[in-house]
Structure 1
Amino acid sequence: MTETDVAEPVQAGRWAAYSVCLLAGFVTLLDVSVINVAVPSMQAGLHLSAGQVLWAAFGYTLTFGVVLVPAGALGDQLGRRRTLLVGLAFFAFGSLACGLAASGWWLVAARLVQGLAAGVVTPQVVGLMRQLFARGPELGKAGGAYSGMIAATTAIGPLVGGLLIQAGGPADGWRWVFLVNVPIAALSLPLGLRWLPRDRQQIRGVRLDLLGIALLGSGVATLILPLIAAEQRQPSVPWHLLGLSALLLACFIAWQQHCTRSGRPRLVNLAMLRQRDYAISAFVGMGYFVGFVGIPFMVSLYFQLGLGYSALAAGAVGTPTALGAAISAPLAGRAVHRVGRRLVVIGLAAVALGSAGLIALIGHRAGGLVWLLVAGPLLLAGAGSGLVIGPNLTLALQTVPLTEGSAAGAVLQTGQRIGSTIGIAVIGALYFGSLTAHPGDHLRAATDGLLGSTVAITITLLITVIALLATRDRRPSTQHGTPATDGDEPD
């Protein structure tokens, strides 16, 4: 397959096509965060066991993370348009099955289908962004829009969930958390058929690296499972799986190197990781999400458990984060072409300062107006988020071949999913560990959790600055250079 197979020029209607991608990305990523506020309603409606709650909440995260890279490779070979639309149709089916679930295990099975479908859709969004906006200022603007979408789903997920549960009632409100996806997908499918660029790849020409899929999928699964168990404070966390994960991932890397040397179909072009911007972006993406996810998570926990806010009210407290990202993300998209990696550094610093500001202000009740005090730090953290996500992705993709756009995006997104899972597990452990040591002191617990977020973001910031200084950051406009290859044509 050559770049002309996917680089169909789409001058007219590119932003219309990209809007379909963003809508598909929004609805699939929203289900990562919206589920947290729906758990009590699900338990009341279906009388779920503890195990069913765990799998209903985090089976989505697990299957989502496992399938990302194989789905990215599939989209590059099979065609991103058809892969995204098929994934979106299955996501709608899974959402409908969740909303109609009559038992706990029915819900769990439907959530697993949802996660698999979301993992198929998500890499195509990044691949189509790379295809529609090859490089330069327009790629930066597209990255800014993507950044705003991700930040919005993270910040407003609890608010959306609270609104839907309040509207649907305590027993059945959780069903609307899933059913709302169906009309969004139903709208996206015909729009995608009309506006997305047609695929030139032939279905019969697809050659997948099945052993690579098995090694990577099992490696990611054995990494995520103990983190989920730790997050849920399970009595026995299978930490031994981390060793198995390391072994499986090492075997995966060795197999990918063998595939490259022998000319066999490969799942990931490891040469991408030798590209400076791509490698730095992969690290920043994972480290940033380790820290950032803890901010809305801690705010939601503290305002609900510590101050007695409803799920809806606690979700509303986090809306300044989405507002900050909505303001900064488009500006960052326009500026990244000129400013380069320094923009990401500024964003990381803003997120770290916002998190530190929350620590300083969250304990001041101010006559019950603490939500007003924390709005400033949350706005700053959201603005910083808008400066990080889109520019970081843009800088990573600028030298990636068009033929590998979905797979390259999927590797980055897998790191983000792993980072988010690590962040919630570690920061949640800090919160609940503090509560165990100091029963009833939710303020101290939230402060400990936010401190964990601040430290993670600060470490990511410092390492990024060191990498920036060591390599004398070049602007994107000078890097129209050589895409990542292994000296051969992409498969």
Structure 2
Amino acid sequence: MAALAPLLAVCAGYFMVILDVTVINVAVPVIGRELPASLTGIQWITDGYTLVFAGFLLTAGALGDRLGHRRVFCLGVTVFTASSAACALAPSALFLVTARLVEGLGAALIVPGSLALLQQAYPSPPARSRAFGLWGSMAGIAASAGPLLGGLLVSTVGWRWVFLINLPVGVACLVLTLRHVARSPRHSDRALDWPAQCAVVAAVALLTAALNEAGRRGWSDPAVLAGAGLAVLAAGAFALRERLARSPVLPPGLLRSRAMSGGAVIGMLFNLGFYGMVFTASLEFQHQRGFSALRTGVALFPAVAMTTFASVLSGRLSRRTGDRPLVVSGMLLAALGLAGWAAAGPEPAYALLVAPMMAAGFGTSFALTGSTATMMGAAPAAFSGTASALFNTTRQIGSATGVALGGSLLATAGSYGAGLRTSMAIGALAYLTAAGLAWLCVPAEPKTA
């Protein structure tokens, strides 16, 4: 039990973070009626969390490297749990939106430290690969189970329990971490470059906001174009500041590493494919087939069922084969699944979609273990939090892009089915591109030491 405790603690925290991205989707219509909330308020209940979460990941990673990852992780769990309680007790829509913003900050503090703590707790490469695999499977399980769990809670005990379920998980996570996870090294001599941190927060938050709005408003909407333009300006300011800073947020040596930069892009591409598939499939099942939220969660279960099995298998195989064959084969399998969905015709029977969903879920989780190990292995120990933050930031951008593309295609294509098939084809192309990058960037040698 002692050997598993760090893994349980970290995975519990990560599961809460990803679950709260998707579990809210089926609850917001009910929330909007009960509080009440305008359409803009409903959007901010959903998107405010994602914006703060994505925007502050790199800052949280740098704080973890400087102050110690266990300390920042525990702070994140505390903030997340307390803000979840505030969300559950919210008397108004404005209060709920504010609590969701704080919850997003807690999520950002949790995630970079989660990978760094696993790397610290499991120094053996085989054990670390298994831990990274189970960590990665939490994302797929939480994202896909969110609509099912949310629908079940809303239809039985009410929407406030969507947030209340975080309380026991958060408390257990905090207790396990304090008791069983060792203190992390601190690099307090490393200064935080606040101008650069503010620039990267602005760039990621603005880009995520623009992508979220693009799915609703269209890519040519002035607000979307303005957000994207401001994100580019903020990114330019960040790059300029990095060239001048004595202690840059992303040291140039990290970005020059082919494994590091390639791994970040791979993470963005496979999140684009997987979350684009989950989003468009959810809309297809509910809007075109008339499924309830609960039945939609059940319909998505084939994708979820494969994630844990795939991650455990890839963690065991990595010491024999190395990471490259696993990442490449996983991406190819997921590409085949989405290509199969795109080729299934305008109104395929649900039975024909089970295999594509299983292939996408299995392939993504099978590849995630190796790509995570690649990113973390390429970073010096002193920058493990920064590496984790970079990986998760690019993945969040990929998720937002996949959802935005899917929403835009469903709204603008000649028919709903045509938009869905185009979205699946783009996801398959993203997976194929990730497979090619993995062949070039992911180390091939098995880790035996």
Name the residue aligned to 1:294. Answer: 276
Distance in 1 (CA, whole Å) between partners of 2:254 and 2:189 is 24
For the aligned residue pairs, the C-alpha RMSD in angstroms reads: 2.1
Change (3 A) 1:304 1:64: same
Q: Does 2:416 correspond to 1:432?
A: no
**Alpha carbons 1:341, 1:395 under 8 Å: kept:** no
1:268 to 247, 250, 257: 250
Query: Deviation digits for residues 325-360 of structure 1, max 9, x if unmatched?
Result: 111111111222323212111111111111122234
| Structure 1 residues 100-179: aligned runs within 5 Å | 100-134=89-123, 136-168=125-157, 173-179=158-164
Name the residue aligned to 1:372. Answer: 351
1:194 to 179, 188, 204: 179
Q: Does 2:244 correspond to 1:258?
A: yes
Name the residue aligned to 1:232. Answer: 216
Distance in 2 (CA, whole Å) between partners of 1:233 and 1:315 is 27
Distance in 2 (CA, whole Å) between partners of 1:282 and 1:254 is 21
1:353 to 336, 343, 354: 336
| Structure 1 residues 298-337: aligned runs within 5 Å | 298-337=280-319
How many Å apart are 1:310 and its aligned residue?
0.2
89-98 vs 215-224, greater mean Cα deviation? 215-224
2:429 to 425, 430, 455: 455
1:242 to 225, 228, 253: 228
| Structure 1 residues 73-92: aligned runs within 5 Å | 73-92=62-81
How many Å apart are 1:21 and its aligned residue?
0.5
TM-score scaled by length of structure 2: 0.93
**Alpha carbons 2:273, 2:402 under 8 Å: kept:** yes
2:47 to 39, 43, 58: 58
Unaligned runs of 5+ in 2: none
1:277 to 247, 259, 263: 259
TM-score scaled by length of structure 1: 0.86
**Alpha carbons 2:6, 2:118 under 8 Å: kept:** no
How many Å apart are 1:117 and its aligned residue?
0.6
Q: Does 2:420 correspond to 1:446?
A: yes
**Alpha carbons 1:91, 1:114 under 8 Å: kept:** yes
376-385 vs 192-201, greater mean Cα deviation? 192-201
Name the residue aligned to 2:445. Answer: 475
Q: Does 2:163 correspond to 1:184?
A: no
Q: How many residues of Structure 1 are paired with residues of Structure 2 in the alignment?
A: 446
Name the residue aligned to 1:220. Answer: 204
Distance in 2 (CA, whole Å) between partners of 1:425 and 1:389 is 22
Say which one has the larger Rg. 1
State the identity %: 32
How many Å apart are 1:86 and its aligned residue?
1.0
Name the residue aligned to 1:484. Answer: none
Query: Deviation digits for residues 136-183 of structure 1, max 9, x if unmatched?
Result: 222211121112111111221211111111212xxxx22111111111
How many Å apart are 1:236 and its aligned residue?
4.3
Change (3 A) 1:39 1:362: farther
Distance in 1 (CA, whole Å) between partners of 2:255 and 2:49 is 28
Change (3 A) 1:75 1:14: farther
Name the residue aligned to 1:391. Answer: 370
Unaligned runs of 5+ in 1: 1-11, 481-491
84-93 vs 191-200, greater mean Cα deviation? 191-200
Change (3 A) 1:237 1:247: closer
